[in-house]
Amino acid sequence: MSERAALDYRQYLRVDMMPHLLCPGCGHGIVLKAILRALHRVGLPRERVVFVSGIGCSSRIVGYVDFCTLHTTHGRPLTFATGLKLARPDLHVIVITGDGDGLAIGGNHLIHAARRNVGLTCLLLNNATYGMTGGQSAPTTPEGARSANAPDGGVEPAFDACGLVAGAGGTFVARGMTAAPLGLDDLIARALVHPGFAFVEILSDCPEYFGRYNGLGRGPEMLEAQRLHVEGVDALLAEKRFVPGLAGERGGARPPVALGVLHEARRPELAAALAAARAAAARPARRPAPPPSAARPRAAAPALADAPQCRVRLAGAGGQGIVLAGLLLAEAAVAAGRNATHAQAYGPESRGGASRAEVIVSDGEIDYPYVDRADLLVALTQEAYDRYAGEVRPGALVVVDADRVAPRPADGVACHALPITATAARVLGAAVGANLVALGALVALSGVVEGEALERAVVARRPGGDAARALRAVRAGAELVAASRETP
């Protein structure tokens, strides 16, 4: 991380957004400058850097940086950032959050981002108060400190954000402060190049609420107080000193605050681990070869197979594996290089109630993940058929279980009644697996995905823990279609 050309902050800022909205003396402006210095030093390509923020004073600073930015809902920046990183592992995703956004409503997301070791840089700006909504107590407000809703001093202990993230599995955990901005540059720069979930808690100051309520003065006084309440844990800040801190009527002296890199480790990053798992699952050696007699029937509906987008609805009862069938279809489409979405819905009963999965397979972008009128419908119960048979497009293809469904004639709809449950019982010895038989029949009839792509998805997911058994069911469904074509 060598020093680069002289930094002009304006090259990284949206100057048309100035003047900023931060209060006089707010430490978040110091943090913003430290972030820009760290980015400049590391030299990340601007087109590969994305800032994601939630709601709060800290999230406001993302609006001032001239990068790709995403302003999300309260407490959810890490969820949006996780999806972005998994979709585009090549991007450097930086999350800016606050002590309320990241530790209160968003606390669970912080835990699981650390557990999964998502390759993000998360900067949590801790000003010990809800500054944007009036100075209420935050998860990090020190015990004994006064706030808008605890005028006599709070009794709750403050959250140790770094301890939480380290305990959850974060592989880089550090703490810096606005009173030592150059040291903060170093911590952020180290976090930016760490291959895994990098978390930096930044002690910032809020003179408008926290400082005023607790008699700590304005910005300069609060920065000086920071310097006196910390101890360093690495060479970067080893010279720092501390004295007893904020003492309330109900709390004793605040313990010293450790600064620097508190924890650093190496383990597989989530996106890389998923890519390795996909590559291993796709190896031909792991895929059972189809028997010579298992010929792939041609699609009976080439218009559907060749359509740029196909909407599929699978419906039945809870416990029939409807959702699993939808997942397999979507995963087969994605593995074959197409776009796909999967949505699911249950009735109020976990078993025996209505169940539905909706899959959209497309060559282009998919604007909405739910199906209004289906091109393909699978119905494994009479209730499912009665409910959805009227919600198909002209020219739709419908597959029903002949053992359980009595279909009605419909103009412009090709309905195939196949002995799906009976075939599952014959091939597998039990009705469980009818979903896979139906899926094999649907793919053979429609060509919405290639049969080989579906088999690869089945092998990768191993339904029921037995890929060979699941493949027998899928192939049996395809053979039903082939037999029905041979029948005069």
Q: Measure the CA–CA gap between 107 and 351, rounded to whole angstroms.
A: 32
In a domain, 226, yes or no: yes
In a domain, 67, yes or no: yes
Task: Supply the pLDDT for residue 144.
Answer: 81
pLDDT, position 295: 37
- Does 22 reside within a domain? yes
Neighbours of 305 (CB within 10 A): 17
- Are residue 478 and residue 354 in the same domain, yes or no? yes
Q: What is the pLDDT of residue 305?
A: 54
Q: How far apart are CA 480 and CA 469, in angstroms?
A: 17
CATH number, domain with residue 68? 3.40.50.970
Please say if the pLDDT value at position 464 is more than 50.
yes
What digits encode the pLDDT tens for the residues 139-153?
Answer: 888 888 887 778 888
Helix pair angle (161-168, 107-116), 10° resolution: 40
Instruction: Please report the pLDDT score of residue 420 as a whole number.
Output: 95
The yes-or-no verdict on residue 200 having pLDDT over 90 is yes
Most confident of 142-156, 200-214, 464-478: 464-478
Place of tokens 């709060």: 56
Q: Is 302 exposed, middle or buried (0-12, 13-18, 19+ CB in 10 A)?
A: exposed
Q: What is the mean pLDDT of the segment spanning 450-474?
A: 93
Whole-number pLDDT of residue 347 = 58
Q: What is the mean pLDDT of residues 273-286?
A: 70
Nearest-angstrom CA–CA distance, 468 and 433: 12
In a domain, 283, yes or no: no
Residue 141 corresponds to which tokens in the numbers above?
């407000």
Residues 259 and 310 in one domain: no
- Please choose, from the candidates 342, 325, 329, 434, the residue with its C-alpha nearest in 3D space to the C-alpha of residue 381: 434
- 């699981």: which residue's tokens? 112
pLDDT at position 346: 66
pLDDT of 319 > 90? The answer is no
Q: Are residues 18 and 144 located together in one domain of the fold? A: yes
Question: So what's the pLDDT on residue 140?
Answer: 83
Q: Quick check: 269 pLDDT over 50?
A: yes
**Domains: count for the chain:** 2
Task: In whole angstroms, give the CA distance from residue 114 to residue 299.
Answer: 46
Verify cis geometry, omega within 30 degrees of 0, for the bond prior to 45: no
The answer to the question of residue 289 being in a domain is: no
Q: What is the pLDDT of residue 186?
A: 92
Contacts of 247 (CB under 8 A, 6+ apart): 144, 253, 254
Residue 181 has pLDDT above 60, yes or no: yes
Q: Are residues 257 and 328 in the same domain?
A: no
Calculate the average pLDDT of the chain: 83
- Phi/psi for 372 (5° steps) reads -90, -50
What would the pLDDT profile of 92-109 be if each residue is shown by its tens digit? 999 999 888 888 888 899
Using DSSP's 3-state secondary structure scheme, residue 65 falls into strand
Say which residues have a Cβ less than 8 Å from residue 174's Cβ, sequence separation at least 6: 162, 187, 190, 191, 198, 199, 200, 201, 260, 261, 262
Spatial separation of the C-alpha atoms in residues 179 and 228, rounded to whole Å: 10
Q: Clarify whether residues 156 and 245 are in a common domain.
A: yes
Regarding predicted confidence, which is higher, 250 or 96?
96
What is the predicted pLDDT for the residue at 296? 38
- Shared domain for 267 and 319, answered yes or no, is no
Same-domain pairing of 125 and 167: yes
Answer with the one of 208, 236, 271 that is the final residue of a domain: 271
pLDDT of residue 231: 55
The residue ranking higher by pLDDT, 343 or 259, is 343
Is the per-residue pLDDT at 288 higher than 80? no
Q: Report pLDDT digits (tens) over 232-249.
A: 544 433 443 333 334 443
Are residues 325 and 314 in contact, defined by beta-carbon separation less than 8 angstroms?
yes
Q: Answer yes or no: is 384 within a domain.
A: yes
Task: For residue 211, give the DSSP letter.
Answer: I
> Could you tell me if 182 and 313 lie in one domain?
no
187/264 Cα distance (integer angstroms): 12
DSSP 434-457: HHHHHHHHHHHHH-SS-HHHHHHH
Tens digits of per-residue pLDDT, 28-83? 889 999 999 999 999 999 899 999 999 888 888 898 899 999 899 888 999 999 99
Q: What percent of the chain has pLDDT over 90?
A: 49
User: What length is written for the chain?
Assistant: 488
The domain in which residue 363 lies consists of: 297-486
Asked whether the predicted pLDDT for residue 487 surpasses 80, the reply is: no
Q: Looking at the domain assignment, is residue 474 inside a domain?
A: yes
Q: Give the C-alpha separation, 292 to 295, whole Å.
A: 7
Q: Is the pLDDT of residue 341 over 90?
A: yes
Same domain, 175 and 266: yes
The answer to whether residue 284 scores a pLDDT higher than 70 is no
Per the CB < 8 A criterion, the answer to whether 80 and 72 are in contact is yes
Q: What is the pTM of this model?
A: 0.64
Strands 172-177 and 257-264: antiparallel
In this structure, the answer to whether residues 245 and 372 fall within a common structural domain is no
> How far, in Å, are 120, 241, 280 from residue 203 at the CA level?
20, 16, 43
Lowest mean pLDDT among 281-295, 373-387, 434-448: 281-295
With respect to residue 383, please indicate whether it lies within any of the assigned structural domains. Answer: yes
Residues 145, 229: Cα–Cα separation, whole Å: 15
212 band by pLDDT with thresholds 50, 70 and 90: confident
Phi-psi region for residue 144, left (φ > 0), alpha (ψ -120 to 50) or beta?
Answer: left
**Is 217 found in the same domain as 130?**
yes
The CATH code of the domain that includes 318 is 3.40.920.10
Higher pLDDT, 301 or 133: 133
Pair 326, 231 in one domain: no
At 198, phi and psi to the nearest 5?
A: -110, 125
Q: Is the distance from CB of 434 to CB of 424 less than 8 angstroms?
A: yes
Closest CA to 202 of 31, 42, 21, 40: 31
| Contact predicate 88/82, CB 8 Å | no
Under DSSP, the state recorded for 6 is: P
CA angle (373, 374, 378) in 5-degree steps: 140
- Residue 468 CA to residue 464 CA, distance in Å, equals 10
